[in-house]
Amino acid sequence: MVDLILDTNIWISHIAKDKPAGIFEIFKKQVNDGEVILLINDIIIDEWNRNKSKTIKNISNEIKETSKNALRIKTFLSEEGKEKINELLGEINSKENERIKLAENRINEIELMMANAIKTEVTDKMKVQVSNWALEKRAPFKQKSNSVGDALILLSTVIHRTKDGSNHYRPGFFVSFNHTDYAQENDSDEIHEDLQDLLDDANLLYKRHIGEVLNLTPELNVEIEMYIDNYVESYLEEQAEMRAEIRRGK
């Protein structure tokens, strides 16, 4: 049994999108069986709500893109190959709405898991503390100044796990793609030295790879590694652009 807090990017990119395929059901089962105790806070919930409609739209577009890719391939095939693609397209199109509905149901199940998770408190005192981190240019404010939410996610979890004056009795994991905020500059899998003592005090470990926390097959872990390698940089660029849009709108 472990405590697990997932950064919003993990909720969206792995769990909501079910990438690699099958991870959602495994995750849900381990939560339902009590192997994983979910922690959450208002920062993650607010970020999820801000991204929810876009996430659903992206999932729907990815499903529809399957048909478009098949059509592109079709132009390069022989007549026999085109007939096979037509059969495949018919099957894909017949299940498109079903797959979109399944994705929408998955979003609803995620929100139920969030509602049932243990909520860690975010206080004004914590906000003052992370403001001081920003002034000191310590992680997670090394590479950008607008990391207050990222800092509060972590600090809220740490304080929750140490509020009784000692380490929590079970191990805890914080999982995030966002190595530019949390990890060492030269090692994206290791927590930044500014945050090391904080996590040690709370018996909390930082991970980028959710497969290191969940009980997954070796094959699925390989798929996760490939997915992270191919996806994370584009995700971070997208987040930077989103923050820039928010600033321009102020």
Q: Mean pLDDT throughout 17-36?
A: 93
Instruction: For residues 194 and 101, give the distance between their C-alpha atoms in angstroms, rounded to a whole number.
Output: 44
Instruction: For residues 150 and 140, give the distance between their C-alpha atoms in angstroms, rounded to a whole number.
Output: 7
Q: Mean pLDDT throughout 160-173?
A: 77
* pLDDT for the residue numbered 6: 95
* pLDDT for the residue numbered 40: 96
pLDDT, tens digit (0-9, with 9 covering 90-100), for 65-122: 766 665 566 565 566 666 666 666 666 666 777 788 888 899 999 999 999 999 999 9
- Given a cut of 80, whether residue 35 has pLDDT beyond it is yes
Q: Mean pLDDT throughout 157-180?
A: 81
The SS3 call for residue 4 is strand
Helices (H) and strands (E) in the chain, counts: 9, 7
Tally of CB atoms within 10 A around 163: 12
pLDDT, tens digit (0-9, with 9 covering 90-100), for 140-161: 787 666 678 888 999 999 999 8
Encode 55-99 in three state secondary structure: HHHHHHHHHHHHHHHHHHHHCCCCHHHHHHHHHHHHHHHHHHHHH
In the chain, DSSP assigns E strands to 2-6, 36-40, 118-119, 172-175, 183-184, 187-191, 204-207
Asked if residues 149 and 47 have their Cβ atoms less than 8 Å apart, the reply is yes
Instruction: For residues 6 and 17, give the distance between their C-alpha atoms in angstroms, rounded to a whole number.
Output: 15
